[in-house]
Structure formats: C-alpha cells, structure tokens
Amino acid sequence: MTIDLPATMFYTHAPITLPVHVICGKKPGPHLFLTAAIHGDEINGVEIIRRVLQLPVMQRIKGVLLALPIVNLHGFLHHSRYLPDRRDLNRSFPGSVKGPLASRLAYLLMHEVVAQCSHGIDLHTGAQHRFNLPQIRADLSDDDTYRLGAAFRIPVLIDSHTRDGSLRHAAVQQGLKVLLYEAGEALRFDEMSIKLGVRGIVNVMRELGMLAAKDTTTQGARPMVSTQSRWIRAPGSGILRSPIKVGDRVKRRTELGIITDPFGEQVKIIRSPLEGIVIGQTFLPLANEGDALFNIAAVKDLDRAAAPWEDLNVVSNPNVS
C-alpha cells in the first residue's frame, strides 16, 4: 500500500506529499526503510527502489519494508540537489517543526518513518558530472552495521563517521543500523549501479532474516574496507585528460591525468599522493584550480587486495585522450 504523508504546499496551491510504499509481512521481523533522492538530482536510487518493489519475493517478507523513492520532491522536480532555498535536506536532520522547509521535511521523515524502523538504507549518487564507484558508507566500527555492509556484497566499504545533520547520523542516534549506498552520478541512470543496489538490498534483507536465505552462498568476494578517502584537486585551471576510471588501483605517484590549456601548453601532471582505489571521479574535463577531480580511498596492501569489480563492467571514462 502507498501512503501519502501530507508534507507541505506548493505556492501554486497544490499539496505536496511524501509518498511511502509500505509492505507489511505476515510474520514479525525488522522494520527497514529505503530512501532515495534526499538529494533531488540523485536518481539511481529511485530506479533501485522501483525494481526492489517489483520483485515477487517482496510479497513474502518478514517484518515491514517502508520505501520512499523520492524524499526531496522539490529537488526532484527541478533536477536539483537542494530545496528551493538552496538548503541541503541531508544537512537538516533531525529537523524541527518550526524551521525552514528542509528542517520540517526532515522532522516529518524522522517522526513518521525513522521512528517506526530498526534499520535503514539511504541511496545516493555522486554529484552532477561526478561518478562514484558503487560503495557502502557506514560506521563499520559497529559490528552489526559491518555485517550488513559486508552482506550488501559491494567491492568497497568506506568506514565513514556520520556527518552531523544527515539522515544517517540522525537515524543512528535513534538506535537504527543504517547503510548509505553511493553509486553512479547525478541525473543519470547507471545500469551497473542500479543492479548492484537492487542485489545489495535483497542481500541485506536476507541477512536480516526479512527474506529467506539462499540455499547456495551468495556470489561475491569479500569487500575491501577503507577508513580514509581523499579528493585530489586540480593543481591549476585547464582541460583534463585522464586514463583513470573508477575502480582503478593507484600507487603513490601514479599519473592520474594531465591538465593543459587549450593550446597544449602549460602542462600540469596530476599524480596520486596516496595508494588506493579510485572511488569517484569527475566526468567534466573542464577544471578550475581546486576543483575535485579524483576521489581515492586509501587501501593497505593493495597488491593482495581482491578486485571483485573487474567483472562489473565499470563505465568507461569519457575523458580518455
């Protein structure tokens, strides 16, 4: 069943609701929320939730599933990360009844959804023109959260301390176990990111006992865990060429790309300052000095680390010379 939670009004007089699809299992079990498009232009998660809800097995769950494919309706309508006043909904939690719109929506979500749940998965993508390797971000120092992150069966887990004001932080404060899935880029569907997201949610629901465990062991290698990631920024303004794609392993001093002016003069070579895996990169080859170009997750013992994403058909980098 789909419930439309009354949220607010457009200034056109039309009402805005927060649509929640609820599946109640016949037997008790965990209460899991799925949220997408808290950043209104991050749409992979909208398609992930649609596909999860269409799976016939969802009619046989234990516990309760609350699915919210579009949390930031204003942003979704305007292809924007933000709310109309440029506030970031994911920096507005836990919210308040009397604050700005972002704060009120956050409050509604906390009281009507998070308060009913024991677990949550929040779905995100990179920003516009920035592509993220599918990855789970969670507080991996918590054993139960680590177990769910590993169950997602994704190549890289980032041990990320929750940022104040995010849905994840506010929900963890309320005692929930929460994963954040990051994959692909804003305003684009990426098939690999969507498939891995659907598979990951099903795997987590199996781990939680909401779905029957598979007879055979779920496919997928052990994930790599990184406790630190770092954006490498443009050393000068110019046009970027790069052979790098997300999922690549890089050593210290590996060449990540070259920035030149339009005449091919003023060459600046960008080298990795650390050893790790490229978990995010810009797809826009036009860089101002200081722009974030490559996100690298530090991984120790890179040579021995498995590379389970090699069969994932990672998208090609459009900036290859």
Q: Which residues bind Zn ion (CB under 5 A)?
A: 39, 42, 124
In 3D space, the residue among 111, 207, 106, 223 whose CA is nearest the CA of residue 157 turns out to be 223
> Smallest distance from the beta carbon of 117 to Zn ion, in angstroms?
20
Which CB atom, from 124 or from 188, has the smaller least distance to Zn ion? 124
> Smallest distance from the beta carbon of 269 to Zn ion, in angstroms?
31
> Smallest distance from the beta carbon of 136 to Zn ion, in angstroms?
14
Helix, strand, coil tally for the chain in percent (to 5)? 25, 30, 45
> Smallest distance from the beta carbon of 124 to Zn ion, in angstroms?
3
Which CB atom, from 62 or from 231, has the smaller least distance to Zn ion? 231
Which tokens in the block code for residue 64? 């309760």
> Smallest distance from the beta carbon of 39 to Zn ion, in angstroms?
4
Which tokens in the block code for residue 168? 């994840």
> Smallest distance from the beta carbon of 37 to Zn ion, in angstroms?
9
Which CB atom, from 64 or from 186, has the smaller least distance to Zn ion? 186
The answer to whether 182 and 125 are in contact (CB under 8 A) is yes
Which CB atom, from 42 or from 190, has the smaller least distance to Zn ion? 42
Which CB atom, from 42 or from 159, has the smaller least distance to Zn ion? 42
Q: Running DSSP on this structure, what letter comes out for residue 125?
A: -
- φ and ψ at 105, to 5 degrees? -65, -40
Which CB atom, from 181 or from 211, has the smaller least distance to Zn ion? 181
- Distance CA(241)–CA(320), nearest Å, equals 6
Residues 6+ apart with CB under 8 A from 202: 52, 55, 57, 211
> Smallest distance from the beta carbon of 317 to Zn ion, in angstroms?
22
Cα distances from 225 to residues 104, 170, 202, 217, 299, in angstroms, run 35, 24, 21, 21, 7
Which CB atom, from 42 or from 47, has the smaller least distance to Zn ion? 42
In 3D space, the residue among 186, 75, 70 whose CA is nearest the CA of residue 126 turns out to be 186
- Distance CA(67)–CA(2), nearest Å, equals 9
